[in-house]
Structure 1
Amino acid sequence: MSGSTLSIPAADEELPDCVEVAVIGLGYVGLPLAREAASVGLRVAGLDRDPRVVEGLNAGRSHVDDVSDDDVRQMRMAGFTAYTDDACLARAQTVVICVPTPLSEDGGPDLSAVTSAVRAVAGRLRPGQLVVLESTTYPGTTEEVVRPLLEESRLRVGEDFALAFSPERIDPGNTTHGLRDTPKVVGGCTPSCAAHAVAFYGKFIDTVVQAKGTREAEMAKLLENTYRHVNIALINELAIISRELHVDVWDAIRCAGTKPFGFQAFRPGAGVGGHCIPIDPSYLSYKVRSSLGYEFRFVELAQDINRRMPEYVVRRAQDLLNTAGRPLRGSRVLLLGVTYKPDVADQRETPAVPVSRLLRKREAEVSFHDPHVQLWTVDGVAVPRVGDLMAAVRDHDLTILLQDHSAYDLPALADEARLLFDTRGRIFQPGVEVL
């Protein structure tokens, strides 16, 4: 969704008389939601501003890692159709908004896609509809931004239509926990709104957890990811300190992890990536700063630590080359894994970008390999992709493992590489530098 109201003509698809669910935004959040709803027999319509996405889905092609082409074909057989025209919203019993909320220049959430989607809904709103916001944002958004826009239709929340917030909990690439078996948190503007939302999600989610209200549901999402963000920052700083203290931080984590209570293992890395952990805590920090007038210091500190990790990785890489008698300038450096997590193609906020940027700034010759990424650009400049991986690690002065995709034979890579820097703590054998 962009900042303008959707008005692109739809493809040659006739609008059904009625759909039970309309999902706005068919990306990493919206498409899995549409799939699960369709899988239990609900009639689902999808709305997206990108004609290429709509055309691909209607032709049975997926653009999301966790939804296969076969999944899309099954959805189509169940009656799913994607549109670029918001006319489909008028026929929906429930509308779920799953549009992106990136950070704006002032560090707060950019709600332009949300407000655009809500205005589209308001223009088609009718009595009896349920509207749910799933896009991550700061506490108060549903009541302070979404509700007033919808009530411009002169329909009233809790009387004429229902409004709720339900945070997305999608974990791309997770084959253990999916949408259906991950508990769904729901908060309504009124008790009747909550009841409508709980009943809706209960049709295709195993467990629905009702929050006290929309603000609590909004805060729950930020709490989940702020918790992870702060603990990742803690272990990243411990990794730096441990090296100075001559402590094997990976072994310390292994030992601490044997405690059956009171400890959850987090592991250091080149930074944090994805749309959630680097972004979501900023929403909370923004709300505290704008509404209360002071900083959320835990979040600010965690952001500072995690943002410094790419620079630390490059500094360690430079030290490793210097020890081998080579300067970083002019050295050939191969980056393995440029996505933000293992075994997905998702590159959102990947720390590989600042690592590559810093290496180039120091005039290293950077190449990459990733089994899930064929083309990769940093600051608009293409990074060369190697074909023969084993030949490449033998040919490059330094190989840096940024993402431990399961396709990589890590021991074999360690045997062949001239120098290998493992930022994931996966290769503990002589000659390998570990973060």
Structure 2
Amino acid sequence: MTVDVVVLGLGYVGLPLAHEAARTGLTVVGFDINSNVVDGLNAGHSHVDDLSDADIAEMREAGFRATSDESELTRASTIVVCVPTPLASDGSPDLEAVTGAIQTVARQLQPGQVIILESTTWPGTTEEIVQPLLEETGFTAGTDFHLAFSPERIDPGNPTYGIKNTPKVVGGVTPTCTQRAADFYRQFIDTVVPAKGSREAETAKLLENTYRHINIALVNEMARFCHELGIDLWNVIDLAATKPFGFQAFYPGPGVGGHCIPIDPNYLSYTVRTRLGYPFRFVELAQEVNSGMPLYVTRRAQDILNEDGKALRGAKVLLLGVTYKRNIADQRESPAVPLAEDLRAGGANVSYHDPAVATWNLPDGDLERVPDLEKAVADADLVILVQNHTAYDVEKLATLAQQFFDTRGVTTSSGVHRL
């Protein structure tokens, strides 16, 4: 018995994809090397924000199951690879998970299968890394099997756009590969956009996130000098946003987080430096500005405490919201981590609250959430709003605090410090 698709990697990208395919009527098997993920899903439990246990139950009723048995890949018409692509310690792309996944696919590769990589990576990965590994089997891409790249466009917590109604870019290593991969996605995605090839599809993903990275850096840098000049940047942005053309609003914050913005533009910068020998200056400058925001927030915190005649060393600082995005539990690359480290380096006693995070895993050990939010706010020398979760009554909390520093520009209370 064959299955329509095996999704390899059941995280924030792979599991929603598997869910949408299954609810459309495709037969879906999920593959993951993490036994806890596999056992949890087979027991009906979700581990990602965008899917509930009820969603997993719906998938299971449609025939979905998770496995760590790679022989299941032989039964698939299509295999979609959705594994992490972090940065290595030297800032270069770490493709260990991708190469490991593709080697697994190669061991089970069957004639006629469609192999699609969704993991974000540098331009050329599909043709230069994935294709040769698969062709070591003796099969030829475009003839014996079909190979394509399709960038994921998952936006955790987005109530409007999900897998089905977000246009899907697809680029194959041959035109036939593009067509076969596009035909697969058209079964459960409304709009499929064919690319000229896999390199164009890979680069499109990086352009999308580089655009955001650079524009966020622009307003983050403006936040610094607008504060010095006594200008309310939040009001400036609202004013500029009234223009019906030629402007899109971006907002400053304590740093950038998630998998995409802090990481993906570096793939493009890495490619330019290693292939062409010169820097992608916009990306590198944006990285410098955005990565410096936690330290800037720390310095502002120190200034606020000084106004009360207090030092940062020994001060009780409460952080509100430690996830990278509001209303989700995902902590990947959250700027709250370097912010906490910078505050601690200055001698502050850091505590936190987040409605979605009971235990915060910091590099130097775990921290437990404060049990009584309002008491913790009142007791702290300084409260910093890092992430504006809907669960927070920010105006009320600001009135309870001795000093309140809003890095998200959402408070209107007098006496509040805003980024």
The bucket for the TM-score relative to the shorter chain is over 0.9
Equivalent residue, structure 2, for 1:148: 132
Equivalent residue, structure 2, for 1:274: 258
Whether 1:124 aligns to 2:108 is: yes
Shift of 1:382: 2.2
Whether 1:423 aligns to 2:407 is: yes
Shift of 1:245: 1.6
Q: Which amino acid aligns with 2:112?
A: G
Distance 1:46 1:352 in 2: 32
Equivalent residue, structure 2, for 1:296: 280
Shift of 1:324: 1.1
Shift of 1:383: 2.4
Q: Which amino acid aligns with 2:66?
A: A
Q: 1:393 aligns with which of 377, 399, 407?
A: 377
Gaps of 5+ in 1: 1-16
Equivalent residue, structure 2, for 1:23: 7
Pairs aligned (count): 419
Whether 1:265 aligns to 2:249 is: yes
Distance 2:375 2:228 in 1: 34
Whether 1:313 aligns to 2:297 is: yes
Whether 1:324 aligns to 2:308 is: yes
Secondary structure of 1:160's match? Answer: coil
Whether the aligned pair in 1 keeps the contact of 2:2 and 2:75 (CA below 8 Å) is yes
Whether the aligned pair in 2 keeps the contact of 1:428 and 1:434 (CA below 8 Å) is no
RMSD: 0.7
Equivalent residue, structure 1, for 2:27: 43
Whether 1:241 aligns to 2:221 is: no
Q: 1:101 aligns with which of 85, 94, 101?
A: 85
Whether the aligned pair in 2 keeps the contact of 1:366 and 1:383 (CA below 8 Å) is no
Secondary structure of 1:31's match? Answer: helix
Whether 1:52 aligns to 2:36 is: yes
Distance 2:130 2:225 in 1: 45
Deviation readout 1:222-250 (Å, 9 max, x if unpaired): 00000000000000000101111221111
Whether 1:358 aligns to 2:342 is: yes
Whether 1:161 aligns to 2:145 is: yes
Question: Which shows bigger deviation, 119-128 or 221-230?
Answer: 119-128
Equivalent residue, structure 2, for 1:85: 69
Distance 2:234 2:174 in 1: 48
Q: Which amino acid aligns with 2:337?
A: V
Equivalent residue, structure 2, for 1:175: 159
Secondary structure of 1:382's match? Answer: strand
Distance 1:415 1:324 in 2: 16
Equivalent residue, structure 1, for 2:318: 334
Distance 1:161 1:382 in 2: 47
Whether the aligned pair in 1 keeps the contact of 2:44 and 2:53 (CA below 8 Å) is yes
Distance 1:377 1:344 in 2: 16
Whether the aligned pair in 1 keeps the contact of 2:399 and 2:413 (CA below 8 Å) is no
Distance 2:254 2:177 in 1: 43
Distance 1:369 1:245 in 2: 32
Q: 1:378 aligns with which of 340, 350, 362?
A: 362
Whether the aligned pair in 2 keeps the contact of 1:33 and 1:179 (CA below 8 Å) is yes
Distance 2:314 2:350 in 1: 10
Secondary structure of 2:244's match? Answer: coil
Distance 1:423 1:121 in 2: 45
Shift of 1:428: 1.9
Shift of 1:391: 1.1
Shift of 1:289: 0.7
Q: Where in structure 1 do 4 or more consecutive aligned residues deviate above 6 Å? A: none
Shift of 1:71: 0.6
Gaps of 5+ in 2: none
Distance 1:256 1:311 in 2: 28
Q: Calculate the TM-score normalised by the size of structure 2.
A: 0.99
Whether the aligned pair in 2 keeps the contact of 1:422 and 1:434 (CA below 8 Å) is yes
Secondary structure of 1:383's match? Answer: strand
Q: Which amino acid aligns with 1:336?
A: L
Whether the aligned pair in 1 keeps the contact of 2:357 and 2:369 (CA below 8 Å) is no
Distance 1:234 1:220 in 2: 21
Q: 2:207 aligns with which of 202, 223, 241?
A: 223
Deviation readout 1:69-108 (Å, 9 max, x if unpaired): 0111111111111011111100000000000000012211
Equivalent residue, structure 2, for 1:7: none
Deviation readout 1:308-339 (Å, 9 max, x if unpaired): 10000000000000001111111100000000
Q: 1:111 aligns with which of 95, 105, 126?
A: 95
